[in-house]
Amino acid sequence: MTQDISEKIEVISINDSQPEDSSPVVPHERQVVDCVIEIWKEDPSTESLGMSKLHALVKQKHPNWSISEKRVRSLLKQFGLAFNNQEQFTYAKEITSVMTPDIELPANVHIIMTSKRGKGLYAKRDIAKGDLIWSEEPLFFIPPLANVNLMKTASACTYCGKLLQRTESATVLKGLDCNVCSEVWCSIKCKHLDGNLHSLLKHNLYNPGSKKHKLIDAEAFLELQDYCLEEQWNALYAITLIYANCITDKLGVKQKQFDAMARVSQDVRYKALSSSAGTFDSLNGGALFVQEQQEHLWKIGYEKFLRVFPKKPVEYREFLFMMGTYNINNLDSNVFLTQSHLNHNCASNTSVETELNRTAGLKVIAGRDIKSGEELTTTYVNPSHTVHQRQRELRVNWGFICACAKCKDDLKQNERRKSSHNQQQNANNIRDMLKETKDAVGEEGIELEIPTEFNGERRKSVRFDERVVAVKE
C-alpha cells in the first residue's frame, strides 16, 4: 500500500530560525532603522527610492509591523538618514585648520587657504598624467591593533606589526630582539624608528613606590592597549601613540603639526553618525549608541588615557578634539603630513598609493594631466559606490555633502532612470488594465446604445485659439 508522498514531507527550519510572529507589533525605533539599513545594503539602488516605496519594502520584510510611512520618515530624519540634504546634519563649518609649520613641500606644489575649501594643495606648474608628484613616510605610524598579541609573543614586529615567519622569529638577527621584554623588531629601520619610545611605553623599569612622576606610565599604557584591543577602539590606541610621540619630541614640532591639521571634536562628528555609512570609526565599525552611552565610553577611554601621561595631562575637551582630528586625517590608520592637505573629489586628479610595507609610506601620482594653478584632489571614498553611498559616508565621516561634478551627474542620471522607470511602470499598468478589461468583457467588447435624444447643448471640438460655437440640437 503506497502512502501519499505529501505525508512523508517534513518541514524544518534552517539554522534554528523561528518564523516571525504574525500578530501585529509596534517595532522599536532601532529595529526600524536597522531594517532600512539592511534594505539599502542588500540593494544599493533602493537608496534613491521615495519614502512610500521604502515604507512598502519595510512592510514587505515585516508584514506584522504596525508602522506608518510618517514614522519611518521621522526616524530616518532623527538618526541622520534623511533623504533631503537640507535635513541632514553636517559639520564641515565646525572643522578648523591653520597653516602648517615647518613643512617641506614637494617642489611642484604649494598650500593655499581658501574660504570654501579651507587648506589645500595646488600645482605650481603643469603636471603630466602618471608623474610622481611626491612620496612621504608617515608623520605618525600606527601599527595594526589586531596584531598586538602577536607583537607580545615575537610573532610580529613590535613597531610595524609585520607578521614574522616562524624561521624569522626563531633566528632573529642579533640586536633586533629587545633585551628587556620578549618583543622583537623585523629590521634595523623599525628599531631605529621606534627609538626610545618602545622602552617608555612597554617597560616597567620604575619603582612603584617612587614619588617621582614618570613621563609615560608603561603599566597604564599596556592596560590601555589591551582595552583598545578588546573594544576594537583604534582611535584611542592611535591618539595615545601620537601623543606619546609628541611629548617625546624635544623640538615640539610634531605637536604643532598635528594641531595645524583639520580639527574637529569627536562628539560633533558623532551627531552625524549613520551606521549605514559602513566605515564610521567609533567602535566596532560604527555601532550606533545613544549619546549618553557613547559619552560614557569616551570618559572610560579618557581616564585610561590620563593614566598613561601623568606629567602631561590633557583636558577632556582636547581629548575629544584629538580623536576627531585623527579620525578625519588618517589614511590606513597612519597620519601623513603633506597628504593630509589633499581635499576630496569623487573624480580626483591624483592617485594615492600606499606601499605594501606600511612604514614606507605612500606615493601620490597624477591620475590625469593637471594644469598649473589647479587644486590637487584625492577621493576619501570608493568612487565606484553609488552617489548616495558616497554622500552618506562623506557626510558622516568628514562632515560635508559632496557637490562635485561626478555627484551632480550621478544624481541627474538617477532622476532620469527614476523618470524612465515610472513611465515604463505607467505603460505596464495601462497594458495590464486593458488586458484585464478584455478578459472581463470578452473578444466582442461592449456594445453601447446610440442615444436618440440629446438634452442641453453639444459643443464641437475646439483648439484653445478658436472661438467656441454652441450648436442647439
Side chain identity at residue 291, one-letter code = Q
Q: Which triple of cell numbers denotes residue 448? A: 453601447
> What is residue 276's predicted lDDT score, i.e. its pLDDT?
42
> What is residue 444's predicted lDDT score, i.e. its pLDDT?
62
> Across residues 223-248, what is the average pLDDT?
96
Residue 469 — very low, low, confident or very high, per pLDDT cuts 50/70/90? very low
> What is residue 299's predicted lDDT score, i.e. its pLDDT?
95
Give the sign of the dihedral formed by CA 287, CA 288, CA 291, CA 292. Answer: negative
Give the range among 158-162, 436-440, 442-446 with minimum mean pLDDT.
Answer: 442-446
Global pTM value: 0.73
DSSP 98-146: -PPTT----TTEEEEEETTTEEEEEESS-B-TT-EEEEE--SB----GG
Side chain identity at residue 139, one-letter code = L
Q: Which triple of cell numbers denotes residue 50? A: 521615495
More confident residue, 30 or 147: 147
Residues near 394 by beta carbon (within 8 Å), at least 6 away in sequence: 344, 380, 381, 400, 401, 402
> What is residue 278's predicted lDDT score, i.e. its pLDDT?
43
d(CA 369, CA 128): 5
Q: 460 pLDDT exceeds 50?
A: no
- Domains of the chain plus CATH, in order, are 20-87 (no CATH), 92-138+340-407 (2.170.270.10), 196-335 (no CATH)
Burial class (CB in 10 A: 0-12, 13-18, 19+), 291: exposed
Burial class (CB in 10 A: 0-12, 13-18, 19+), 416: exposed
More confident residue, 249 or 213: 249
> What is residue 112's predicted lDDT score, i.e. its pLDDT?
96
pLDDT tens digits, one per residue of 180-223: 898 999 999 999 999 889 999 998 655 555 555 688 999 999 99
d(CA 40, CA 320): 31
pLDDT tens digits, one per residue of 66-119: 999 889 888 887 766 665 544 567 899 999 999 999 999 999 999 999 988 889
Residue 287 — very low, low, confident or very high, per pLDDT cuts 50/70/90? very low
What Å distances lie between residue 335 and 194, 330, 387, 456, CA to CA?
A: 16, 5, 27, 85
> What is residue 255's predicted lDDT score, i.e. its pLDDT?
97
> Across residues 255-283, what is the average pLDDT?
75
Residues near 429 by beta carbon (within 8 Å), at least 6 away in sequence: none
pLDDT tens digits, one per residue of 326-346: 999 999 999 999 999 999 999
- Per the rule left: phi > 0, alpha: psi between -120 and 50, beta: everything else, 373 is left
Share the mean pLDDT of the chain. Answer: 82
Q: Which triple of cell numbers denotes residue 296? A: 560614557
